[in-house]
Structure 1
Amino acid sequence: MSPTPVTADHNPLRDVRDKRLPNIAGPCALVLFGVTGDLSRKKVMPAIYDLANRGLLPPGFSLIGFARRDWADQDFGQIVHDAVKEHARTPFRESTWKSLAEGIRFVPGTFDDDEAFDLLAETVHQLERDRGTGGNTAFYLSIPPGFFGQVCQQLERSGLATAEPGQWRRVVIEKPFGHDLESARELNDIVEGVFAPDSVFRIDHYLGKETVQNLLALRFANELFEPVWNSHHIDHVQITMAEDIGVAGRASYYDGIGAARDVIQNHLLQLLALTAMEEPTAFTAQHLRAEKEKVLASVRLPDDLAASTARGQYAEGWQGSEKVVGFLDEEGMKPGSTTETYAAMKVEVDTRRWAGVPFYLRTGKRLGKRVTEIAVVFKKAPHLPFDDTETEELGQNAIVIRVQPDEGITLRFGSKVPGAQMEVRDVTMDFTYGNSFTEKSPEAYERLILDVLLGAPSMFPRNEEVELSWRILDPVEEYWAANGRPDPYPSGTWGPASADEMMARDGREWRMP
């Protein structure tokens, strides 16, 4: 019997007949551009170590850093070592580090340096010979989008973007994926002009979070929820990403981008798509993406954007016990900036399942607490055989999926208060990952980087999803640009009054997380 051939999709370290075994990456290397940035140091490097520590990387895995630094291999190795010691999720083990460090290389150079990319190509080929990487290489562009085109062209010129038979080459890009529809299309054309669409992995770290993926299990593995997941029973949906931090140290990056472009266009619209999508015929990348795209194509903005959107800018205030400055007083901020730090909007999904159900999206900085959640709020019971005084503390039933922190699910429903009289009030049932499972959830970047190395694109948005998201947001951005300044709100509160007024017009109010 002939041996199983090794292909780009075959992993010789895993017996695919046993579905209980973890997915272990096959022979490969990862080239990291932007090694000096916070993202690389705090997320990417620690995630690579954690994967190695969990036994999910092959013995010959290699990490190549590329930057404008006069470093040797051991200098970059020390940078990785320090990042791992400070930020890794799993315990530091000398044996794991020693194995990983043997595959660490560094190539100095700039993005316009042909010789540096030629040296990078030589390094990739050398690792193929010396460490058995198989020539399989992922290029992680942890750099500003303005450099994507230049780096991709250099990878093409040096031959690094082209895979030999039996090999694969993939590129990973971080948000923002453009700043509007036109720039997103230009960026997609540049990247996909060098790499095949199935080899482009656009990272949205929210899609790697355990709770986000559990949303699919909640809906489609439980007969309890799916029958009521529609406009007959659901009143509205609120999707919130709140931060309690400001933009200190990131003023130059954040100014001109704002909360809507930074969060709503990618994270919140992706969460909306997963909440509203129909059941896929299979949990493959093709079928998941197709269902998400149907949702995004069906999203409709209300005609009156003044009444259905709100934007704000944090002013000075108190974050807990700390006095903090306002957005315009942050170091490096342009005087008179009109960039919003809070954004809220109402949209509807024009499908049979969701007809008439509004989705409210909000995000902001310097809010009351750090939380990301999806709250599915149900209609009130059509008939309550109680006096008003017996149910005055009863709200609407809700399922709340907490993405971060304290990942889990809360179910809110009415229950009788113990005692002789009939009194009904809200109670909650909580499921948390920490209490229900002994194994800690992996960090989002662990899951997503492993998926890149495995060639599993299910949780990565493709260009159609990105462009559909910009189609939704662009009219809102254009309206805001033509209509004055954001409304101020004190730091430590839950946003501007205009956001509460937006909800009040519909007879609703924001959930207090």
Structure 2
Amino acid sequence: MTRPHPAPLANPLRALDDTRLPRIAGPSGMVIFGVTGDLARKKLLPAVYDLASRGLLPAGFTLIGFGRREWSKQDFEAYVKDAVTASARNDFNENVWNRLAEGMHFVTGAFDDDAAFDRLADLLAEMDATRGTGGNWAFYLSVPPEHFAGVINQLDRCGMAAQDENRWRRVIIEKPFGHDQASARELNAVVNTVFPENAVFRIDHYLGKETVQNIMALRFSNQMFEPVWNSHYIDHVQITMAEDIGLGGRAGYYDGIGAARDVIQNHLIQLLALVAMEEPTSFSPRRLKAEKLKVLRATTAVGPFEETTARGQYTAGWQGSERVVGLREEEGFDPNSTTETYAACTMQINSRRWAGVPFYLRTGKRLGRRVTEIALVFKRPPYQPFTEGQTDLLTNNAVVIRVQPDEGVLMRFGSKVPGSAFEVRDVNMDFSYSEAFTEQSPEAYERLILDALLDESSLFPTNDEVERSWEILDPVLEFWAAGGRPDEYQAGTWGPESADRMLRKDGREWRRP
């Protein structure tokens, strides 16, 4: 008796499509402009090493630095090694380092130096021939926006931006991308004359954080959340990015930019879009970006701005046990500047899901502690059969997504206090990434650099998103520009009194994380 053959797999390639398997970048290399800056030293170079340590870079991966310093290959290797040993997430491994260092090179030159870019083009061709990079190169512009056009035009002049069906060329651009909608459009035009939009990767490192990506998992993989994720149940949403540090050595960069341009226009508005968007039909880049753009087009800043926004500058005070100086005493900062270090504004989303639900966005330096979180605060139940004294200590239910530093999700709800009296007060149910998972979350820049090499653009804002974000914020910035000096708040507190009034007028208050 013959045995029947087992039924064939419905999809014999399914095993190759297992999302649990890490995706490894194909033949490629990366050029970092601004490689001697703080961002490259503290984030980018350690991220490249961590990717190599995890086995996610190709064997012939090549890293080229471009800068003014008269460095040899050995000098550059020593610089990168110092950065890696100081800031990499994974332990230093000599074998990993040696493989990575083989493909490191440095090109000396300025952004207006034609000869330097010619040498860079020759080096890329040599690496394609000897390292197997296949003509695939990512150009990371870790430089101020005023240098974008110069670098991109040089890449175009030397033919380094040219791509075809056999090779790709991509540009990765750091924020800030413009200082208003008009300048963002100008920059987009400059970039897109050389690189098509599908080859442009605008970095918002917050979108690379595991907890930010978990917003989509929390919403769309759990039946318990999505049915109440709307105006029928949610009273308001607070999105906070607070820092406990001052300007430090960034006074020259920060003056004229301020908290709203530095954080609200990109990080916080992107978080708003992820929290408020409708469910995409898939998590493909095209579908995800379409839903984000829909919700951004429905978002506007709420006026009158003298009541619905707040801005401030920190003064001297205590940060924990340390006495710190005020903004105007910070080295390199103009004491007459009206640049804000605290910004808060009210947004509304004109959609059926979110009609009548205010979104309060705030960010600031020298606040009570370093924290980034999204708090969805629920309405009170329509009927409560309790006496007033039984619920005196009960506040609104809330779901709080902690982005940093203690990544996780907190749920606040009411529970009876043990004892003979019937008293209800708040309790917390707390999920922590560090306790629930043994694997350490990768740094945001690891994920974003790898995604750029893989041509996975889901976590990178498009030019439409960037321009629309500025369009939302520009009216607030114009109002502030005509409004004189920002209010003051003491270092170590949670912002100016005007920010508290902003919510108090609606019968609400800010969370104190």
Q: Scaled by the length of structure 2, what TM-score is found?
A: 0.97
CA shift for structure 1 position 301: 2.0
* Corresponding residue number in structure 2 for 1:316: 316
CA shift for structure 1 position 15: 7.7
Deviations 1:177-213 (A, max 9, x none): 1000110000000011100100000000000000000
Structure 2: distance between partners of 1:17 and 1:172? 27
Aligned with 2:166: secondary structure?
A: coil
Structure 2: distance between partners of 1:71 and 1:173? 24
Deviations 1:258-292 (A, max 9, x none): 00000000000000000000000110111111111
Deviations 1:342-401 (A, max 9, x none): 000011000000000000000000000000000000001111111110100000000000
Q: Which amino acid aligns with 1:382?
A: P
Aligned with 2:179: secondary structure?
A: coil
Deviations 1:411-455 (A, max 9, x none): 000000011111100000110110000000000000000000000
CA shift for structure 1 position 483: 1.1
Deviations 1:21-72 (A, max 9, x none): 2110000000000011000000000000000000000110000000011111
User: Is 2:210 aligned against 1:215?
Assistant: no
Where do 1:38-437 residues align within 5 Å?
38-437=38-437
Aligned with 2:90: secondary structure?
A: coil
User: Is 2:483 aligned against 1:483?
Assistant: yes
CA shift for structure 1 position 335: 2.3
Residue-pair matches, total: 500
Q: Which amino acid aligns with 1:276?
A: A
Aligned with 2:212: secondary structure?
A: helix
CA shift for structure 1 position 165: 3.1
CA shift for structure 1 position 339: 0.4
User: Is 2:492 aligned against 1:492?
Assistant: yes
Structure 1: distance between partners of 2:196 and 2:372? 33
Structure 1: distance between partners of 2:109 and 2:307? 51
Structure 1: distance between partners of 2:21 and 2:321? 48
Q: Scaled by the length of structure 1, what TM-score is found?
A: 0.97
Cα gap change, 1:325/1:500 in structure 2, threshold over 3 Å: closer, same or farther?
A: same
CA shift for structure 1 position 17: 3.5
Structure 2: distance between partners of 1:227 and 1:17? 31
Structure 2: distance between partners of 1:394 and 1:475? 38
Structure 2: distance between partners of 1:34 and 1:304? 42
Aligned with 1:250: secondary structure?
A: helix
Unaligned stretches of 5+ residues in structure 2: 1-13
Structure 2: distance between partners of 1:373 and 1:333? 29
Aligned with 1:430: secondary structure?
A: strand
Structure 2: distance between partners of 1:322 and 1:107? 43
* Corresponding residue number in structure 1 for 2:4: none
Structure 1: distance between partners of 2:191 and 2:43? 23
CA shift for structure 1 position 248: 1.4
Aligned with 1:133: secondary structure?
A: coil
* Corresponding residue number in structure 2 for 1:3: none
Superposition misfits of 4+ residues, deviation over 6 angstroms: none
Structure 1: distance between partners of 2:33 and 2:176? 16
Aligned with 1:262: secondary structure?
A: helix
Cα gap change, 1:156/1:456 in structure 2, threshold over 3 Å: closer, same or farther?
A: same
The alignment yields a C-alpha RMSD, in angstroms, of 0.9
Structure 2: distance between partners of 1:220 and 1:363? 28
* Corresponding residue number in structure 2 for 1:37: 37
Where do 1:16-31 residues align within 5 Å?
16-31=16-31
* Corresponding residue number in structure 2 for 1:6: none
* Corresponding residue number in structure 1 for 2:443: 443
* Corresponding residue number in structure 2 for 1:11: none
Aligned with 1:323: secondary structure?
A: strand
* Corresponding residue number in structure 2 for 1:509: 509
Deviations 1:125-153 (A, max 9, x none): 11111110111000000000000000000
Unaligned stretches of 5+ residues in structure 1: 1-13
Structure 2: distance between partners of 1:407 and 1:418? 30
Aligned with 1:415: secondary structure?
A: strand
Structure 2: distance between partners of 1:298 and 1:21? 37
Q: Report percent identity of matched pairs.
A: 66
* Corresponding residue number in structure 1 for 2:7: none
Structure 2: distance between partners of 1:506 and 1:193? 47
Q: Which amino acid aligns with 2:213?
A: Q
Q: Which amino acid aligns with 1:48?
A: V
Q: Which amino acid aligns with 2:428?
A: T
Structure 1: distance between partners of 2:203 and 2:468? 17
CA shift for structure 1 position 163: 1.5
CA shift for structure 1 position 16: 3.7
Deviations 1:102-121 (A, max 9, x none): 00011111111111111101
Q: Which amino acid aligns with 1:290?
A: A
* Corresponding residue number in structure 2 for 1:465: 465
Structure 2: distance between partners of 1:173 and 1:269? 18
Q: Which amino acid aligns with 2:229?
A: W
Structure 2: distance between partners of 1:209 and 1:389? 43
Aligned with 2:248: secondary structure?
A: coil
Structure 1: distance between partners of 2:291 and 2:95? 44
329-338 vs 237-246, which moves further: 329-338
Structure 1: distance between partners of 2:438 and 2:208? 20
Q: Which amino acid aligns with 1:230?
A: N
CA shift for structure 1 position 478: 0.5
Structure 1: distance between partners of 2:19 and 2:257? 44
Structure 2: distance between partners of 1:86 and 1:80? 10
Structure 1: distance between partners of 2:476 and 2:17? 50
